Amino acid sequence: MRIYIVRPGDSVWSIARTFGVTPQSIIDANKLQDTASLVIGQSLIIPTRERAYRVLPGDTIWSISRRFGVSVDSIVDLNNISNPYAIYPGLIIRIPEKAKNYGYIEVNGFIQPSTPEKEKAILDESIQYLTYITPFSHHVNPDGSLTPLNDATILKIAKDNKVAPMLSVTNISGANFDTNLISNILNNEALQQTLINNMLDIIKTKGYYGVIIDFERIPPQDREKYNNFLRKVVSQLHPNYIVATALAPKTYDVTEGAWHGAHDYKAHGEIVDFVIIMTYEWGWSGGPPMAVAPINEVRKVINYAVSVIPPKKIMMGIPLYGYDWTLPYMPGGEFAESIGNQEAINRAGKYGAAIKYDEKSQSPYYNYIDKKGNQHVVWFEDARSVEAKYKLVSEYGLRGVSYWVLAQPFPQNYQVLDNMFKITKVIK
Q: What pLDDT, in 10s, does the model give residues 214-260?
A: 999 999 999 999 999 999 999 999 999 999 999 999 999 999 999 99
Please tell me the predicted confidence (pLDDT) of residue 20: 78
Are 144 and 205 members of one domain? yes
Are 92 and 109 members of one domain? no
Are 219 and 342 members of one domain? yes
Average pLDDT of span 60-89: 85
Average pLDDT of span 87-114: 87
The CA distance from 398 to 37, in Å, is 39
The CA distance from 424 to 341, in Å, is 26
Is the pLDDT at 81 greater than 80, yes or no?
Answer: yes
Please tell me the predicted confidence (pLDDT) of residue 65: 86
Q: 355 and 387 in contact (C-beta within 8 Å)?
A: no
pLDDT tens per residue, range 111-152: 999 999 999 999 999 999 999 999 999 999 999 999 999 999
Are 132 and 22 members of one domain? no
Average pLDDT of span 171-188: 97
Within a domain: residue 173?
yes
- Can you spell out the DSSP letters for 251-276? SS----STTTTT--HHHHHHHSSEEE
Are 110 and 24 members of one domain? no
Per DSSP, 375 falls in state E
Is the pLDDT at 208 greater than 90, yes or no?
Answer: yes
- Can you spell out the DSSP letters for 79-91? HT-S-GGG--TT-
The CA distance from 423 to 267, in Å, is 28
Nearest CA-CA partner of 318 in 336, 347, 291:
291
Active site (annotated) includes residue 281: no
Backbone angles phi, psi at 99, to 5 degrees: -150, 150
Nearest CA-CA partner of 112 in 104, 102, 103, 122:
122
**Residue of 106, 119, 216, 343 marked active site:** 216
Q: Which are the contacts of 87, defined by CB distance < 8 A and separation ≥ 6?
A: 55, 59, 60, 61, 81, 93
What CATH number is given to the structural domain containing 186? 3.20.20.80
Are 173 and 278 members of one domain? yes
Are 135 and 67 members of one domain? no
Please tell me the predicted confidence (pLDDT) of residue 52: 78
The CA distance from 145 to 181, in Å, is 12
Query: Higher-confidence residue: 166 or 74?
Result: 166
Q: Which domain holds residue 178?
A: 104-423
The SS3 assignment for 196 reads helix
Around 84, how many Cα atoms within 13 Å sit in the side-chain half-sphere? Answer: 14
Within a domain: residue 53?
no
Is the pLDDT at 342 greater than 90, yes or no?
Answer: yes
- Can you spell out the DSSP letters for 295-361? HHHHHHHHHHHHHHS-GGGEEEEEE--EEEEEESP-TTSPPPEEE-HHHHHHHHHHTTPPPEEETTT
Within a domain: residue 352?
yes
The CA distance from 314 to 273, in Å, is 9
Within a domain: residue 307?
yes
Nearest CA-CA partner of 155 in 170, 169, 166:
166
Per DSSP, 397 falls in state T
Domain count, the chain: 3
Please tell me the predicted confidence (pLDDT) of residue 410: 96
Task: Indicate the pLDDT class of residue 380, thresholds 50, 70 and 90.
Answer: very high
Around 80, how many Cα atoms within 13 Å sit in the side-chain half-sphere? Answer: 0
What CATH number is given to the structural domain containing 77? 3.10.350.10
The last residue of a domain, from among 38, 71, 96 = 96
The CA distance from 59 to 89, in Å, is 8
The CA distance from 380 to 336, in Å, is 12
Among the listed ranges 6-15, 73-82, 407-416, which one has the minimum average pLDDT value?
A: 73-82
Within a domain: residue 51?
no
Task: Indicate the pLDDT class of residue 100, thresholds 50, 70 and 90.
Answer: low
Within a domain: residue 191?
yes
Please tell me the predicted confidence (pLDDT) of residue 233: 99
Are 207 and 81 members of one domain? no
Is the pLDDT at 324 greater than 80, yes or no?
Answer: yes
Is the pLDDT at 325 greater than 80, yes or no?
Answer: yes
Is the pLDDT at 86 greater than 90, yes or no?
Answer: no
Within a domain: residue 278?
yes
Is the pLDDT at 99 greater than 70, yes or no?
Answer: no
Please tell me the predicted confidence (pLDDT) of residue 299: 98
CA 372 to chain CA mean position, Å: 35
The SS3 assignment for 235 reads helix
Q: Which are the contacts of 49, defined by CB distance < 8 A and separation ≥ 6?
A: 96, 97
Please tell me the predicted confidence (pLDDT) of residue 357: 98
Average pLDDT of span 153-162: 98
Are 78 and 218 members of one domain? no
Please tell me the predicted confidence (pLDDT) of residue 67: 85
- Give the rounded percent of residues in the chain with a pLDDT score beyond 90: 85
The CA distance from 363 to 403, in Å, is 17
Among the listed ranges 62-71, 322-331, 335-344, which one has the minimum average pLDDT value?
A: 62-71
Average pLDDT of span 344-356: 96
Among the listed ranges 85-99, 385-399, 403-417, which one has the minimum average pLDDT value?
A: 85-99
Are 123 and 184 members of one domain? yes
Average predicted confidence (pLDDT) for the chain: 95
Within a domain: residue 306?
yes
Average pLDDT of span 304-333: 97
Average pLDDT of span 342-352: 96
Please tell me the predicted confidence (pLDDT) of residue 98: 64
Task: Indicate the pLDDT class of residue 74, thresholds 50, 70 and 90.
Answer: confident
Please tell me the predicted confidence (pLDDT) of residue 76: 85
Q: Which are the contacts of 189, defined by CB distance < 8 A and separation ≥ 6?
A: none
Are 18 and 131 members of one domain? no
The CA distance from 55 to 59, in Å, is 6
The CA distance from 226 to 183, in Å, is 9
Are 171 and 213 members of one domain? yes
Q: Which amino acid is at 289?
A: P
